[in-house]
Amino acid sequence: MSSPRQGSGAVSPDPRPALATVEELQARIAEIDPAVRAVCTPNPAAPSDAARLDTERDDGRTRGPLHGVPVLVKDNVDTADLATTAGSLALADQPPPPDDAVLVRRLREAGCVILGKTNLSEWANFRGYASSSGWSAYGGLTRNPYALNRSAGGSSSGSGAAVAAGLSDFAIGTETNGSIVCPAALNGIVGLKPTVGLVPQQGIIPISHSQDTAGPMTRTVAQSAALLTVLTGGGTDYLEACRGKDLSDVRIGVLRGSLWGYSTGLDQVTEKALETLSRCGATLVDRLSLPALGDDDQLQVPLHELKVGLAKYLATRKDGAPRDLAELIAFNQSHPDEELPWFGQELFERAEATGGLDSPIYVAARLSALRTGRDGIDTLLRENQLDALVSPAYSPAWTIDLVNGDHVLGSSSSHAALAGYPLLSVPSGTVAGLPVGIVLSGTAGSDATLIRLAHAFETARIEADGPFPTPEFRQWV
């Protein structure tokens, strides 16, 4: 499998044939995944796809640096040869989508092998209030490889846990608000949520067209950069941003306030991460904060956009599948033991009751979200002449509690979610053996800048502390 050379900005080719790598990973999935449940739908065609790519390489034809690399894809991204369910039984027995999502087509064209689909929090964690991240009726419960009684985060739970567990170095997640950076932080991997619109949304089961995006989830920053290059169509080589650890020309704002103080261990690890950034030469501008968030604005935008976007998506599926949100609600009501054993569908019901994208409630909420998100971030960057912002990512993984739902102590994704701006989570250390990370954020189109900063931090942290610890699959922490 491809792996980046530390500090080189390149992705080195794996000398093994793609088929050997795929077969090794399939064996590992069979051995490890019954405990983790990260992969919900293996791809039976992966070996033959890998063999075909090996033949191309033997004939002197390669499609790029990710030729023959196995990639896992979140189960809300369309694959024409595999089920796409969003974790719901309402779509589980339906034929696969008629076409690959644009990003899947790009992966195949770049020579990637689709190894399978990863489990997710059902409907990307936007169905009910008391959900448990990583649970879906179709895929079951994904667990954190570092401690099996703890959450893998959501909603890209399977993608994060799979990379951490060594089931693939490369996976695709999607994010509306935290769904890439949260499982990346909790599973000790790199998660990049690109600027909204940079990766095409066609063929992704939607929540919010103004906030949704797919993005890379990988072991290293350089791997995420290489994957982002493919996902965006290759017009920009994001690997060029991985160019060492000198940040002497960079100014980074440190976000404080409510983003700190909910986990003493996380705060301590993050302070050490700030020291690492300083050693790289970055100028840190401390004690900054973003505008307070309005809870209703955070909900009203995706509630209104879900109803419209989901109906548009479901129209692309074959006859027999639900046609709209109302039919999905009715399906869940008719299958309560399978779909509703742990939490309800209050968010679905609220979305169904919305009045459309011309509703004054939606228009006002969208404008408020942009003022809080975009204006808040851009003003802070401009007034302090900053290249990026940094904060703790998420608390260490919380214990799984299907009865009461998630126990999230704090997060760092909401302002960027409202703005449609990029985030990058990179491992910073551990607390009681559980991974934690920092999140780098910036304005629209600053993805390459965030990659540069994260790669420098990653390189310096590894030089100081050694490789990030691998999961031990402990039963309890």
Residue ranges in 371-405 assigned as alpha helix (H): 376-383
| Cα torsion angle, 470, 264, 412, 206, sign | positive
Catalytic residue among 88, 121, 155, 157: 155
Q: Which is catalytic among the residues 133, 159, 179, 411?
A: 179
Task: Identify whether 312 is a catalytic site residue.
Answer: no
SS3 152: coil
Give me the half-sphere count of Cα atoms (radius 13 Å) on the Cβ side of residue 457: 31
Q: Which helix (H) or strand (E) holds 432?
A: none
| Contact by Cβ (8 Å): 145, 474 | no
Tokens of 457: 């931090």
The helix-helix angle for 295-314 and 325-334 (nearest 10°) equals 90
Residue 170 bridge partners (DSSP):
218
> What is the maximum span of the chain, computed from C-alpha positions, in angstroms?
60
Give the residue among 77, 78, 20, 90 at the shortest CA–CA distance from 345: 90
Q: Is 179 a catalytic residue?
A: yes
- For residue 374, give both structure tokens: 């975009």
The catalytically annotated residue of 74, 117, 193, 245 is 74
In angstroms, the first-to-last Cα distance of the chain is 31
Pairwise CA distance, residues 142 & 345, whole Å: 20
Among this protein's residues, is 74 annotated catalytic? Answer: yes
Q: Which residues does the annotation mark as catalytic?
A: 74, 155, 179
